[in-house]
Amino acid sequence: MGSYIDGKHEVVLWIAERVPDGGTILDVGPCDGIWSDLIRTICDDVFIDACEIFTPNIAAHNLVYKYRRVYAGDIADLKYDHYDLIIFGDVLEHMTVEKAQAVLAYARDHSTDYVIGIPFEYEQDAIYGNPWEKHLQPDLTPAIFDERYPNHELIIQPRENYAYYHRR
């Protein structure tokens, strides 16, 4: 699934209000680096890193030119000190519930805030030669999201089947 563009502009404005000049952002699962491209249009004094599990995306999308640092690997294995903001754009649905909860718990302890972009009721198998594209939580709805991932607040729901949240 390609990420929806709907709502991204509003989320970037939301991010710009919360990340200070000189602040740090981690983009998890950047794919083509769209978040870096969009954030840099209005925030020119932030440091953006990325964590990409599907290493062919790093070269295919020139991610080393879009991010300060690119970590190749699983976000569940990445240990970091602190980020002002972490972006989980179309990421959690690719993990088991337990793994996603553990990743968010670590992020809660090591960031000021984070954004989650999540599709609802979306089945997807591995695509583009990427086995990590499979959705392991295709049953997500707003109610199930709230049950599995409490203490989050809706930023915007630009589509019936897609929403952005942040930590409460």
Domains of the chain: 8-167 (3.40.50.150)
d(CA 60, CA 56): 6
Tens place of pLDDT per residue across the chain (168 aa): 456 788 999 999 999 999 999 999 999 999 999 999 999 999 989 999 999 999 999 999 999 999 999 999 999 999 999 999 999 999 999 999 999 999 999 999 999 999 999 999 989 998 888 888 899 999 999 999 999 999 999 999 999 999 999 999
